[in-house]
Amino acid sequence: MDTIAPAHPISVLPPELLCLVVQALDPITLLSLSQTNRVFRCFISPQRVHFVQRLLALELLPEHGGIVPLFNARLNTLRPPPYDAKWNQNKYACSGCLKLLTHKMFDNHSIYGLALRKPPPGSEEATKLTDWEPAEDQVGWWKRRQRQQGHEQERLKEFRTQYATATRSRGEPANGPQPPNGFLLAGSDDAKDERLAREAESVLCGRSRHRRLCLECKRTQGGVFARRTRSNIGTQEAPIIVTRQVLIADSLSLCFPRSIFGVPEPPLPRILRVNHPDCNIYLRSPVVVFCARCSTWQDMWAFGPDVMHLINVDTANNLLWNRDPDDPDKSDYKLHMCHHCIASVKGIDRLRDSLLEVFLELAERSALKIRGRLNLGWNQYHRDFYQGALNKPRYKGAKRRLFGDNFHNLRLTAHGPMHPKRDPIYLASNEVKDAVGELLRRLKELRSFLSKEATLSEQITVTESWQGIWLEDYEENEQALFYSYYLMALVRNDPQRLVDYALHPDRFRYPRQPLSSFQQDILARENLKKEGAGRQARNMRPPKKNMDNEMAWKDMYLRARDRAQAGKKTLESLRANRA
């Protein structure tokens, strides 16, 4: 005998009171109540707009959408920064496919725009209730909506003016002097502007999130990626979308994570900068690329040379064209293929050769930068001390002999640290091995001179500038240099490491729109081919060769790591002596 479920206590309320109760609910509770029983489902009758509002409310919950980044337009800062580990679980709602997707499936405008980003806690959008109305009240909805929008547009216009005035720069650069300890003096102009900006942001932030679309929805709509912009540097068929910045040491780390080599990565030496002397990282903007052959959005790491040659990652703007799209020899330009597709179409050998070529090029470029740092410091000390010792009368006797012995035959001139004819110290890998011991001896004498014989002004000049950073981080730079040479020798002996990393299933792929049955059949056949190609590549693994060179660089790298761990005391002793 069938039993009838008891009616919910709220359903017995009069319709007028029930309407007031439902209108006081948040979007998540509204949809949950509509799924309770048939009475509420028929009474509420949720529409698409209600599902969009529920999804926008879910993205603000930590268990579903992750963190809510906080922007400060006055100081041009973001907390936490996009390279923080907390962003890994950060998700955003797409109003096109009605899904919570990773932030990498959205362009920068959809994440950073004032009207599209996540509203901060306590703002109007974060505490917004549902827009549900009874069916009989929807007859005059359009006229009521027009009257409300008239007053609302005037209010929003005032807040936009207030926000623009409060966030306008007062002469200080975005990365200029910051308030001490992060606090502003009460009653100051900065404190007033900060309060006005936060007040306007609590009203304006996130009001257009219902228009946010993921990359796949923008691509399927057509016309969005028809022309190249600063956000899309690709084509209509194969978009290349610039994403959030990441912390990266060099171009090699941007394209090939060091974790795939099974060797502990050395600590990053600080970068010789004037404005940020304690910085040891670069900010780079990676890209997300659409593979038209397998219909997937993937990281730039999944495309190898087909995309790496498009992007010059070493420039100040991070993303500049360095390849001619009209060149007939560059057939992969208009239709980029991921590693799996390259292995399926062109074979494992072609993939291995292209990955090896790109890896060696980037590794050599990384080693060249480190050699430039080392030679830059030797050039500077050679100019300030050695040449000064030959010209200044006070540098005579023991000091002049010390300078002459320390810098004699370095042959470092002002023509540039990497001049091929004037700078043989760190020019080639074989010369690096021969120069290590000699340079370490000179470095020890230089440190001894600075701590015992240099004047107070000379010590201040060294310790309070980038020269002190170079002197303190010399072992770290040397360690990073040997690490790059060791990786090059390791990959030359075993290039299959790169292939195994590139063909890892779904390492770089992002969730995408459901495919048709025809596309699913094609992908199933392609996956079988890829698995067979991967097994064939593992069975045909080339033998290792030239192991002596690899072990020699590994030994030099480990020795440099031990020296770096035992050092780091020079500047402290200099400061102690000066005090």
Task: Return the HEC string of 223-235.
Answer: CCCCCCCCCECCC
Indicate the Cα dihedral angle 478, 484, 486, 490, nearest 10°.
170
**Which tokens belong to 507?**
């390492």
Q: Is 543 within a domain? A: no
- Is 350 strand, coil or helix? helix
**The residue to which tokens 């195994």 are assigned:** 500
| Residue 18 near residue 33, CB atoms below 8 Å | no
| Gyration radius of the chain's alpha carbons | 31
DSSP state of 198: H
**Are 41 and 189 in the same domain?**
yes
| Residue 49 near residue 57, CB atoms below 8 Å | no
| Residue 59 near residue 106, CB atoms below 8 Å | no
**Are 371 and 328 in the same domain?**
no
Q: Is 322 within a domain? A: yes
d(CA 92, CA 110) in angstroms, rounded, equals 9
**Domain end marker among 294, 314, 345:** 345
Q: Is 201 within a domain? A: yes
Strand partners, 102: 91
Strand partners, 70: 79
| Residue 407 near residue 441, CB atoms below 8 Å | no
**Are 119 and 261 in the same domain?**
no
Which pLDDT belongs to residue 459? 75
Running along the chain, 579 residues long, what does each successive block of 10 average in pLDDT?
Answer: 54 79 91 88 89 95 94 87 90 94 92 94 93 69 67 88 82 46 58 89 94 92 75 80 80 73 73 56 79 85 65 36 39 64 86 86 84 78 63 51 52 40 43 67 77 75 75 84 87 88 71 45 53 49 56 78 65 58
Which pLDDT belongs to residue 328? 39
Q: Which helix (H) or strand (E) holds 575?
A: helix 570-578
**Are 15 and 145 in the same domain?**
yes
- Is 282 strand, coil or helix? strand
**Domain end marker among 345, 376, 392:** 345
**Which tokens belong to 98?**
């009605």
Which tens digits make up the pLDDT trace of 467-505? 777 888 888 888 888 888 888 888 998 888 888 888 876
Q: Which helix (H) or strand (E) holds 495?
A: none
What residue type is 47 in one-letter code?
A: Q
**The residue to which tokens 């590139």 are assigned:** 502
**Are 374 and 395 in the same domain?**
yes
d(CA 144, CA 139) in angstroms, rounded, equals 10
Instruction: Give the number of C-alpha atoms closer than 13 A to the C-alpha of residue 196, restricted to the C-beta side.
Output: 19
Cα separations in angstroms, 73 against 5, 173, 525: 55, 12, 50
Domain count, the chain: 3
d(CA 538, CA 519) in angstroms, rounded, equals 28
Q: Which of 300, 281, 277 is nearest to 290 (CA)?
A: 300
| Residue 130 near residue 27, CB atoms below 8 Å | yes
| Residue 382 near residue 410, CB atoms below 8 Å | yes
d(CA 579, CA 576) in angstroms, rounded, equals 5
Q: Which helix (H) or strand (E) holds 101?
A: strand 99-102
Q: Is 22 within a domain? A: yes
d(CA 439, CA 482) in angstroms, rounded, equals 15
**Are 34 and 77 in the same domain?**
yes
**Are 70 and 113 in the same domain?**
yes
**The residue to which tokens 């978009």 are assigned:** 239
Q: Which of 335, 216, 257, 333 is nearest to 507 (CA)?
A: 257
Which pLDDT belongs to residue 329? 41
Buried b (16+ CB within 10 A) or exposed e, 412-437: beeeebeeeeebebbbebeebeebbe
d(CA 537, CA 531) in angstroms, rounded, equals 10
d(CA 429, CA 409) in angstroms, rounded, equals 20
**Are 393 and 431 in the same domain?**
yes
Which pLDDT belongs to residue 542? 47
Q: Is 440 within a domain? A: yes
**Are 398 and 467 in the same domain?**
yes
Instruction: Give the number of C-alpha atoms closer than 13 A to the C-alpha of residue 355, restricted to the C-beta side.
Output: 28
Cα separations in angstroms, 287 against 50, 106, 193, 302, 307: 33, 11, 35, 11, 9
**Are 441 and 371 in the same domain?**
yes
Q: Which of 258, 266, 251, 246 is nearest to 84 (CA)?
A: 246
Q: Is 177 within a domain? A: no
SS3 per residue for 55-84 = HHHHCCCHHHHCCCCEEECCCCEEECCCCC
Instruction: Give the number of C-alpha atoms closer than 13 A to the C-alpha of residue 498, restricted to the C-beta side.
Output: 32
Which pLDDT belongs to residue 228? 76
**Domain end marker among 292, 317, 345:** 345
| Residue 90 near residue 67, CB atoms below 8 Å | yes
**Which tokens belong to 546?**
């030239």
Instruction: Give the number of C-alpha atoms closer than 13 A to the C-alpha of residue 553, restricted to the C-beta side.
Output: 23
Buried b (16+ CB within 10 A) or exposed e, 98-114: ebbbbbbbbbbebbeeb
Asked whether the whole model's pTM tops 0.85, one would answer no
Q: Is 536 within a domain? A: no
**Counts of helices then strands in the chain (DSSP H, E):** 23, 9
**Which structural domain range is residue 292 located in?**
215-345
- Those residues with Cβ within 8 angstroms of residue 414's Cβ, 6 or more apart along the chain or in another chain: 379, 383
**Are 221 and 329 in the same domain?**
yes
Q: Is 38 within a domain? A: yes
**Are 287 and 330 in the same domain?**
yes
Question: Is residue 27 reached through a cis peptide bond, with omega within 30 degrees of 0 on the bond before it?
Answer: no
